[in-house]
Amino acid sequence: MQMAKVIGTVVATKKDERLEGVRLMVIQPIDSKDEALGNPIVAGDAIGSGVGEKIIYAKSKEGAFCLPDPQACCDAGITAIIDNTYSI
């Protein structure tokens, strides 16, 4: 799992039926200092994250495990919203 920031949404006029009820969000992977890592990606979101929030996401097959249908065609999925981060 990795951290990212939600930077936008995707509007799809047609998508796989297993993704019904799942929002598609554009996320920017970040490091522990909130600096961008690589390029933005699209992730499925069944937990209700919003633009500007920090999230945890999983990629590959594990990305779909948090969606209503774990067999959905999804390369990344948002698994949690980060409320606070602490540095030790």
Measure the CA–CA gap between 40 and 84, rounded to whole angstroms: 22
Which one is predicted more confidently, 32 or 62?
Answer: 32
pTM of the predicted model as reported, rounded to 2 decimal places: 0.85
Locate 34 and state its tokens.
Answer: 């909130």
- Residue 85, pLDDT score: 64
Q: What percent of the chain has pLDDT over 90?
A: 50
Measure the CA–CA gap between 1 and 56, rounded to whole angstroms: 6
Write out pLDDT tens, residues 45-78: 988 999 999 999 998 877 777 777 777 778 899 9
